[in-house]
Each structure stands twice: as structure tokens, then as C-alpha cells.
Amino acid sequence: MPRNIALVEDDIAIRDNYTAALTGQGYTVNAFADRPSASAAFTQSLPDLAIIDIGLKDEMEGGFMLCQQLRQLSQTLPIIFFTARDNDVDTISGLRMGADDYLTKDISMAHLLARIAALFRRTDLLATPKQDSDLIKLGHLLVDVSRMTVRWKTMPVALTVTEFWMLHAIIKRPGHVKSRQQLMDESRMVVDDSTITSHIKRMRKKFIQLDANFDHIDTVYGMGYRWQQ
């Protein structure tokens, strides 16, 4: 059966365009113009993935409220914030509320589709038996590549799909520097240097929240980033 995607967007032109594009990719799309209609639908049936704008009509943080509702209903449902609001405060708030990714509306449709496919891949992988050969262990770090999960000192680290592949890129060869271009290539995204820097900063913060002494992601100025044992 086709995957069911919920699209919550108050701009009618954007909503119609993305509904058509996602439907053209074989997805079933249920589109909502505001938080109340989406919220009522979610209490009846959950989608396979939700794409949510943050500001919904007169509710500046309506998308955050929906994300919290969805997380109460399901801990594993993939959630993407898709918004024009591009700042660290909103991004960090959204990810802390349990969103899997935070994308701005200036990205390409190809990028959005890649993110959706990656999240569905992770959902499928989480349901498969674990394979020891897919584990990477570096000191206190344990990464299950098949399931796209990360643990630090046995505690789960809630990375987005983009952050996961960036981490994977730098831990494959500890001590070796990965350039920003290499990180973009491996995380399948095309962004500017400042966006790469923001992803790395947010990734570091997530580790530091679990371990105040965490200092294993090094910035090599003018070159890139590396995992330091």
C-alpha cells in the first residue's frame, strides 16, 4: 500500500503544489490548512509521516503543538518541520519536541523527497532484526547504521537524519578530517557552509546535554570536522 503523508500547511498554493508533487511520487497525501483540523484527524488515524509548518494561520506555534500531540500518540512516527522560519531557536525547539528533521522552504523538491525517503528507510530498518556487522563502536559511542540510531554511554542521542549521516561520515575514519563538501555529499544535501556549521553545533549540543565533558567532534578551521578519540 502507498505510504500516507499528512501535510499541514496554511498557504493554499504551497499546500496544493506539494500535495501534487508528493502524490506524483506515489504517496497518499492528506492535506490540512490549520492545526484543529489536523489535530482532529490525528486522533482518529495516524499518518505514516507528517510534514508540518510551524506558523499555522493565527497560531504562530501551531506546528509545535501538533508535533507534541503526535509524539504523545507515537514515539516513532517520522515528523518533518517544513517552514520559512530559519533560525536556531525554532530549529532547536522543533527538534527538542521530537521532530526528526527541520527543513526550510527554500530547499529543492528533490531534497525534500530524499529526506522523506530516508525517514521511511529508517522506519523500515527499525523493524528489521539487528545485525552486529552494522554496529560502529568508538569508546562510549555506539552507532547502529542499519537502524540509524546513536548511543553515548548507553544513552540514546536523538539525531535528525541529516545529523546522523554527518556523524557517520566523520566516525568512519576517526581522526581524519571531513570537509564540508564531503559532509554534504554523505548526508545527501546541498546547503551553504553556515548550514553545515549549524548542524554540527546542534549535534554537539545533543551530546553535551548527555555528557558535559563531551569534546570528540573537532572543528579544524579552514578544513572541516573530525571525530577525535
The neighbour count for residue 51, using CB atoms within 10 Å, is 25
Which pLDDT value is given to residue 167?
Answer: 92
What percent of the chain has a predicted confidence (pLDDT) above 70?
86
Compute φ and ψ for 98, nearest 5 degrees.
Answer: 110, 10
| Site of grid cell 525517503 | 117
Assess whether pLDDT exceeds 60 at residue 7. yes
Average pLDDT over all residues of the chain: 85
| Site of grid cell 527541520 | 102
The pLDDT tens digits for 176-211 are: 998 888 887 776 555 556 667 877 888 899 999 999
Query: In whole angstroms, how far apart are CA 175 and each of 71, 80, 138?
Result: 37, 32, 12
Q: Which amino acid is at 131?
A: Q
Give the three-class secondary structure for 219. Answer: strand
Strands in the chain per DSSP E: 4-8, 28-32, 49-52, 79-83, 101-104, 135-138, 141-144, 149-152, 155-156, 217-220, 224-227
Mutual angle of helices 62-73 and 35-44, in 10-degree steps: 10
Q: Which of 2-6, 110-114, 154-158 has the highest mean pLDDT?
A: 2-6
Read off the pTM. Answer: 0.64
Neighbouring residues of 45: CB distance < 8 A, sequence distance ≥ 6 = none
CB 132 within 8 A of CB 168: no
- What's the rounded Cα separation, in Å, for the pair 80 and 52? 6
The pLDDT tens digits for 67-103 are: 989 988 987 788 898 876 555 555 555 555 667 777 8
Q: Which of 129, 128, 118 is nearest to 159 (CA)?
A: 118
- What's the rounded Cα separation, in Å, for the pair 24 and 109? 12
Of the two residues 171 and 162, the one the predictor is more confident about is: 171
Mutual angle of helices 193-210 and 180-187, in 10-degree steps: 80
CB 146 within 8 A of CB 133: no
